[in-house]
Amino acid sequence: MVNFFKRYARSPSALFGLILLVLVIGMALSAGWFFPADPLRLAGRPLQWPLHNARFLLGTDHTGRDIAAQIFHGARVSLTIGVVATAIAIAIGIVVGALAGFYGGVVDDMLMRLTEAFQILPNFLLLLVLVAVFGSTLSTVILAIGVVSWPPAARLTRAEFLSLRHREFVQAVRSLGMRDMPIVFREILPNALPPIVVYASVIMAVAILLESALAFLNLSDPNVPSWGNLIGGGRSVLRQEWYVSAIPGVAILLTVLAVSMVGQGLNDALNPRLRNR
């Protein structure tokens, strides 16, 4: 573990990303302490600029809601979306990719055709269809993002399994009589995880962006204080009160940047080719 942190700390960008991510997590955890009231309540006069009122350091939006409260509480929503949607996508991708790469043949063909079927339409277009059919509650949006995000994870897992399934350690446990599923999930999967973990950071960043895009189009859950909803609400006043959309936009940018940098740092720390450098 100590060596892992040493390898991670070699990259200044990874450390910077970790600090940013810790700050975002800190915002999410402290939102209820700094802003105990409902962040979607009407708090004051609409469209007050940042720093013009001591009560509203980041100003108010077009309906008079406190932007700072929505930013802090929106960190909870964005992190929840990113983590849960990523977990769903990675879980589906690992199962599909592991079975396809381990067994090959007909199983591989069938599962890869299924994967390609999900990749025929662009992610966002498929996401729009799912949200239109099943609704736009937060849980539905998270599930839909996870469902549209698993194919690349499946392909990555399959490629790793194809390169590992004939290695000596796999042949050794086969000769000892170990069954297929323990070989897949106890022997091969731990060796295939580093690139999958790194790609999980990509999925998480994209998940946050996808929800923000849905909210910008008024297709996400309007009853949660997400950053995307705040950006979407600022469209009508974008020319004059641009800060309404700019502030949550910066929050999304920094969060996505932090997740990407942490993912790169994990790649450097977990990649066996880089461990001896």
Residues 6+ apart with CB under 8 A from 243: 49, 50, 58, 59, 67
Establish if 179 belongs to a structural domain: yes
Its domain, for residue 232, covers: 20-25+64-271
Q: What are phi and psi of 60, to 5 degrees?
A: -125, 155
- Whether residue 48 lies inside any domain: the answer is no
Residue 13 included in any domain: no
Residue 81: phi, psi to the nearest 5?
Answer: -60, -50
Q: CATH number of the domain that 264 lies in?
A: 1.10.3720.10
Q: For residue 254, what are its two tokens?
A: 């920094």
C-alpha to C-alpha distance for 243 and 273, rounded to whole angstroms: 45
- Quick check: is 227 in a domain? yes
Kindly report the number of other CB atoms within 10 A of residue 8's CB atom: 18
- Is 6 within the bounds of a domain? no
Report the number of distinct structural domains present in the chain.
1
pLDDT in tens, the chain (277 residues): 667 777 777 888 889 999 999 999 999 999 999 999 999 999 889 999 998 888 899 999 988 999 999 999 999 999 999 999 999 999 999 999 999 999 989 999 999 999 998 888 888 999 999 998 998 899 999 999 999 999 999 999 999 999 988 888 888 888 888 888 999 988 899 888 888 988 999 999 999 999 988 988 888 888 898 898 899 888 888 888 999 999 999 999 999 999 999 988 887 777 655 555 5
Q: For a pLDDT cut of 70, what percent of the chain falls above it?
A: 97
For residue 42, is it within any domain? no
- Whether 195 is in a domain gets the answer yes
pTM exceeds 0.95, yes or no: no
**Tens-digit pLDDT profile for residues 200-234:** 999 999 999 999 889 888 888 888 988 988 998 88
Helices (H), ranges, 35-188: 67-103, 105-119, 123-134, 138-164, 168-175, 180-182
Residue 213, domain member (yes or no) = yes
Residues 226 and 78: beta-carbon distance below 8 Å: yes
